[in-house]
Amino acid sequence: MTPETLNGGTLETWSAEEVATAFKNNRIVLIDVRTPQEYALERIRGALLAPMQNFDPDHLPRGGDQTLVLHCGSGVRSRKVAGMCLEAGFDRIAHLDGGFGAWKQAGQPYIGTDPATGGPKPMNDG
């Protein structure tokens, strides 16, 4: 995890491995800021959807023991949304470095789309 000061708060950039471990141990709330269409095709099981186009930081939970970690496809949108959260008064928020692409490249499990049926299919569930 790499912290930096942004908009008066702390933005933490986490690797796919750090996010996977923390998510498995229920230490984070993972929020997907991609579009509903992207989410429908492939997603991290258990991640909440809060698309960037409708995003309102005032509707996110504050406090508690779990860190909020945002992710998108590449890390660009999640970083922008994290900046919005910090501008709205969050002290600290995190995002996934490299986004969902980095998650898949690291071999982490996700739900994809089965080309034969069009239905959801566990991927990298080894």
Q: What is the pLDDT of residue 110?
A: 97
Binning pLDDT at 50, 70 and 90, where does residue 22 land?
Answer: very high
What topology is assigned to 2-123 in CATH? Oxidized Rhodanese; domain 1 (3.40.250)
Q: Cβ contacts of residue 55 below 8 Å, gap of 6+?
A: 33, 81, 84
3-state SS class at 112:
strand
| Over residues 23-49, mean pLDDT | 97
What does residue 84 show for φ and ψ, rounded to 5 degrees? Answer: -60, -40
* pLDDT computed for residue 93 by the predictor: 96
Q: List C-alpha distances in Å: 118 to 41, 91, 99, 113, 121.
A: 9, 41, 24, 6, 9
CA 64 vs. chain centroid, Å, equals 18
Q: How confident is the model at residue 61 (pLDDT cuts 50, 70, 90)?
A: confident
CB atoms under 10 Å from CB of 92, counted, come to 14
